[in-house]
């Protein structure tokens, strides 16, 4: 999760900042609840960009935030060391801005043979054009786009997975927009019975 910081958000126009924060929270909490290895990066925290969104630090308390100066985090040795230590074939990116801080490392990761995903509604850029062209460029080289809700639902896969059902439901109810409201409504109106088995 790359550069979720105030200064980067101030100039973001391709997505409403409230929606971006919700989606970032959803991604961070999904990663926490499913124990997905998560790397947080920041740039110029004390001199320019400000602190990492609390939605991320609350979801991952005590996590080291890798401070860097490179625009492409893939060129920072601390970030690459952290990625290599995970020894995973897939990598999922989200953050600000799509056209630089997301697309640059995504392209680098593709070149190195990773299966790469970008959570496009947990990214943003200074214009719609910048965001959309960055997503198109990533798709052209094999990056797979998805949304924050898709991310958590792909991790859950089956509502019968009771060990994570409550966590996923709670995250979606809080941060899942209309879908979350629908879950609250169904739970309230139907006393939590999502399906009725035939007799």
Q: Is residue 29 part of a domain?
A: yes
Q: How far apart are CA 9 and CA 29, in angstroms?
A: 20
Query: What percentage of the chain has pLDDT greater than the value 90?
Result: 93
Q: How far apart are the first and last CA of the chain?
A: 48
- The DSSP H or E segment spanning 15 is none
pTM of the model: 0.92
Q: Is residue 84 part of a domain?
A: yes
Number of domains in the chain: 1
Q: Is residue 83 part of a domain?
A: yes
Q: Is residue 113 part of a domain?
A: yes
Which domain covers residue 103, as residue numbers?
A: 6-157
Q: Residue 194's pLDDT band (boundaries 50, 70, 90)?
A: low
Q: Is residue 100 part of a domain?
A: yes
Among the listed residues 4, 13, 5, 38, the one whose alpha carbon sits nearest the alpha carbon of residue 151? 38
- The larger pLDDT score, comparing residue 76 to residue 193, is at 76
Q: Is residue 135 part of a domain?
A: yes
User: What CATH number is given to the structural domain containing 73?
Assistant: 3.40.50.850
In this predicted model, what pLDDT tens digit does every residue of 57-66 receive, in sequence order? 999 999 999 9
Q: Residue 13's pLDDT band (boundaries 50, 70, 90)?
A: very high
In this predicted model, what pLDDT tens digit does every residue of 72-116 receive, in sequence order? 999 999 999 999 999 999 999 999 999 999 999 999 999 999 999
Q: Is residue 192 part of a domain?
A: no
Q: Is residue 182 part of a domain?
A: no
Tell the burial category of 145 from Cβ atoms under 10 Å away from its Cβ (0-12, 13-18, 19+).
middle
């Amino acid at each position: 999760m790359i550069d979720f910081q105030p200064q980067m958000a101030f100039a973001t126009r391709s997505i409403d900042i409230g929606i971006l924060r919700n989606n970032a929270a959803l991604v961070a909490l999904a990663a926490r609840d499913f124990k997905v290895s998560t790397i947080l990066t920041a740039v110029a925290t004390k001199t320019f960009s400000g602190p990492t969104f609390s939605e991320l630090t609350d979801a991952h308390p005590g996590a080291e935030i890798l401070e860097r100066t490179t625009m492409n985090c893939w060129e920072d040795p601390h970030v690459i060391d952290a990625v290599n230590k995970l020894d995973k074939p897939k990598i999922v990116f989200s953050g600000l801005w799509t056209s630089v801080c997301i697309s640059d490392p995504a392209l680098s990761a593709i070149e190195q043979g990773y299966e790469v995903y970008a959570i496009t509604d947990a990214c943003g850029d200074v214009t719609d054009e910048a965001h959309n062209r960055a997503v198109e460029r990533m798709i052209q080289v094999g990056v797979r786009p998805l949304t924050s809700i898709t991310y958590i639902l792909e991790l859950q896969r089956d509502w019968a997975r009771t060990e994570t059902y409550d966590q996923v439901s709670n995250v979606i109810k809080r941060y899942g927009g209309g879908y979350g409201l629908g879950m609250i409504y169904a739970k309230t109106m139907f006393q939590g019975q999502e399906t009725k088995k035939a007799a």
